[in-house]
A and B are shown apart, each in its own frame.
Chain A
Amino acid sequence: MAHETSHDSHAGLIWKVFGFLSLVTVVEVILGISKPDSIHLTNFLGTSILNWIFLILTLVKAYGIAWYFMHLKQEKASLRRAIVWTTVFLICYLSFIILVEGGYIGDVMSKYTNWNNK
Chain B
Amino acid sequence: MEATVATENKNEGAWHGGGKKPLNASYGKMMMWFFIMSDALTFSGFLAAYGLMRFKFLDSWPIADEVFTHVPFIHGHYPMYYVAFMTFILIFSSVTMVLAVDAGHQMKKGKVTLYMLLTIIGGLIFLGSQAWEWKNFIGGTYGALELEDGKIVQFVDATGHQIALEDFVKRDNVERVQHTRSNGLWYVEDAGAIPPYTVNEVIQSFNANPNIALRTEEIISETKHKKILSREEANTFLEKSIGVVKGANLKVNEYGKTLFADFFFFITGFHGFHVFSGILINIIIFFNVIIGTYERRGHYEMVEKVGLYWHFVDLVWVFVFTFFYLV
Tell me the A residues contacting B by CB distance below 8 Å: 1, 4, 7, 9-11, 14-15, 17-18, 21-22, 25-26, 28-29, 31-33, 35, 40-41, 47, 51, 54-55, 58, 61-62, 65-66, 68-71, 75-76, 78-79, 82-83, 86-87, 90-91, 94-95, 98-99, 101-103, 105-106, 109-110, 113-118
Contact = CB atoms under 8 A, between A and B. Distances in A.
Query: Range of interface residues on chain B?
Result: 35 or more
B44 A102 contact: no
A86 B37 contact: yes
Contacts of A21: 91
B314 A65 contact: yes
Contact of A87 (B37, B95, B236): B37
Contacts of B88: 22, 25
A79 B52 contact: no
B238 to A, nearest CB: 10
Given A14-B98, A33-B65, A113-B60, A98 B52 contact: yes
Interface of B is mostly: helix
B84 A69 contact: no
Interface in B79-136: 79-81, 84, 87-88, 91-92, 94-95, 97-99, 101-103, 105-107
A41 B55 contact: no
Given A18-B92, A26-B84, 9 more contacts: A9-B103, A9-B106, A28-B322, A32-B65, A62-B318, A70-B312, A98-B48, A102-B54, A106-B55
Contacts of B99: 11, 14
B315 interface: yes
Given A22-B91, A55-B322, A82-B23, A41 B223 contact: yes
Contact of B59 (A7, A58, A106): A106
B102 A9 contact: yes
Interface in B131-164: 147, 149
Contacts of A95: 44, 48, 51
25 contacts: A1-B24, A7-B106, A9-B103, A22-B91, A29-B81, A32-B325, A32-B326, A54-B322, A58-B321, A65-B318, A69-B94, A69-B95, A69-B97, A75-B24, A79-B33, A82-B23, A83-B33, A83-B37, A95-B51, A102-B55, A113-B59, A114-B149, A115-B216, A115-B218, A118-B236
Interface string B52-70: 1111111110000100000
Nearest to A40: B224
A83 B88 CA distance: 26
A86 B48 CA distance: 17
Interface of B: 1, 23-25, 30, 33, 37, 40-41, 44-45, 48-49, 51-60, 65, 79-81, 84, 87-88, 91-92, 94-95, 97-99, 101-103, 105-107, 147, 149, 216, 218, 222-224, 227, 233, 236-237, 240, 304, 307-308, 311-312, 314-315, 318-319, 321-322, 325-327
10 nearest CB pairs, A to B: A102-B55, A102-B52, A79-B23, A29-B84, A58-B322, A98-B48, A69-B311, A18-B95, A54-B326, A103-B55
Contact of A25 (B48, B57, B84, B240): B84
B308 A70 contact: yes
Contacts of A17: 95
Nearest to B240: A117
Contacts of A41: 222-224
Contacts of B308: 70
A69 B314 contact: yes
Nearest to B98: A69
Nearest to B63: A35
